[in-house]
């Protein structure tokens, strides 16, 4: 293998820069040329590809976001779009591609691999929703950010004896909400993995106030309901002032915590090692503290992500 390409795609995540740096520096150490693709699959389609050097990745390990840029590019689902991308890769003499991103980005990597261009997927997303890995790059930084935000909201909702409803990201995966709720001492939570009804939630909140609660925090995973409407309903039913806060994209930014920098660095280096061994079409993960790799198509199509029911049950007892 002589030339490797690297791109970041989909929603950015803190630690993606560390992963790019891991890929770049390991490749160069092994005498392999490395090319950075701007703005994910969009830049690949538009042939925005530049050679990277050891110092192209200086001072980025501390930075959130991705210095290569990222994009959502739905047109990559089209075969003709991907054919152009493969043409560009080949024209640049690139032999393999490292894709750092979430679910949608993995899908693109699977398709390219099926169409004859070997890709390695690195899980880069705050959602922690990629199969075949315990953790994704960016998750722990987003968790830290969400917990800091909950702590701040707790201060003000405690002063005003209010109820606070907080929407947390995760795109169909409750990990960020569940873990932020436990760490932030939230009293109630709504996550996609566990069925709920608004009536039960309101009942539980009422019981909490009857037992002497003066304020409460409800953590809600995004896309489950309208948090502003829920706050109004709670206010009317519980007869207690209630406010909603959507944490939003704040959760995606910021300097990565050490774990995400280390995970990104390790996975980046591992991707190059696998490519040197001649392994393409793999998705990298960390399971029980060890780096692992799975068939990328199998990971995407067949594997399941475990839900931490124990933690959920513990949380319920702590509320």
Please say if 12 is a catalytic residue: no
Rule CB under 6 A: say whether 66 interacts with ligand F6P. no
Residue with tokens 């169909």: 172
- Residues 203-222, interacting with ligand F6P (CB under 6 A): 222
Tell which one of 5, 40, 69, 102 touches ligand F6P (CB under 6 A).
102
Rule CB under 6 A: say whether 72 interacts with ligand F6P. yes
- Residues 110-149, interacting with ligand F6P (CB under 6 A): 125-127
Rule CB under 6 A: say whether 305 interacts with ligand F6P. no
What is the C-alpha radius of gyration for the chain, rounded to an integer number of angstroms? 21
First to last CA, the chain: 54
190 DSSP β-pair partners: 220
Q: Give the span between the Cα atoms of 80 and 93, in whole angstroms.
A: 20
Tell which one of 22, 121, 170, 281 touches ligand F6P (CB under 6 A).
170
Rule CB under 6 A: say whether 171 interacts with ligand F6P. yes
Contact, 87 vs 39, CB < 8 A? Answer: no
Contact, 282 vs 293, CB < 8 A? Answer: yes
CB of 169 vs ligand F6P, minimal distance in Å: 3
Rule CB under 6 A: say whether 108 interacts with ligand F6P. no
CA 95 remoteness from chain centre: 27
Rule CB under 6 A: say whether 7 interacts with ligand F6P. no
Q: Give the span between the Cα atoms of 312 and 181, in whole angstroms.
A: 10
DSSP-derived 3-state class of residue 81: helix
In the set 127, 129, 175, 260, the catalytic residue is 127
* Residues tagged active-site: 127
Binding site residues, ligand F6P, CB under 6 A = 11, 72, 102, 125-127, 169-171, 222, 252
């Amino acid at each position: 293998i002589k030339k490797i390409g690297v791109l970041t795609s989909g929603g950015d995540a803190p630690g993606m820069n560390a992963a790019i740096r891991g890929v770049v520096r390991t490749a160069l150490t092994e005498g392999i040329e490395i090319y950075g693709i701007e703005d994910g699959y969009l830049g690949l389609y538009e042939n925005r590809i530049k050679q990277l050097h050891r110092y192209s990745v200086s001072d980025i390990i501390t930075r959130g976001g991705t210095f290569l840029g990222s994009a959502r590019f739905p047109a990559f689902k089209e075969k003709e779009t991907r054919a152009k991308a493969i043409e560009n890769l080949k024209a640049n003499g690139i032999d393999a591609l490292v894709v750092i991103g979430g679910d949608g980005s993995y899908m693109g990597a699977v398709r390219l691999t099926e169409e004859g261009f070997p890709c390695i997927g690195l899980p880069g997303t705050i959602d922690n929703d990629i199969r075949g890995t315990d953790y994704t790059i960016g998750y722990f930084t987003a968790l830290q950010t969400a917990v800091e935000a909950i702590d701040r909201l707790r201060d003000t909702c405690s002063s005003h004896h209010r109820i606070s409803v907080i929407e947390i990201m995760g795109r169909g995966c409750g990990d960020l909400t569940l873990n932020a709720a436990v760490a932030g001492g939230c009293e109630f939570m709504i996550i996609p993995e566990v069925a709920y009804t608004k009536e039960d939630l309101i009942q539980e909140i009422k019981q909490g106030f009857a037992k002497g609660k003066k304020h409460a925090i409800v953590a809600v995973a995004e896309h489950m309901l309208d948090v502003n409407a829920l706050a109004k309903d709670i206010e009317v039913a519980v007869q207690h002032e209630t406010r909603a806060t959507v944490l939003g994209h704040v959760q995606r930014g910021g300097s990565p915590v050490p774990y995400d920098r280390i995970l990104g660095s390790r996975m980046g280096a591992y991707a190059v090692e696998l490519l040197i061994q001649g392994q393409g079409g793999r998705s990298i993960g960390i399971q029980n503290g060890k780096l692992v790799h799975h068939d990328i198509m199998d990971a995407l199509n067949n594997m399941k992500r475990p839900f931490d029911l124990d933690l959920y049950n513990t949380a319920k007892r702590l509320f």
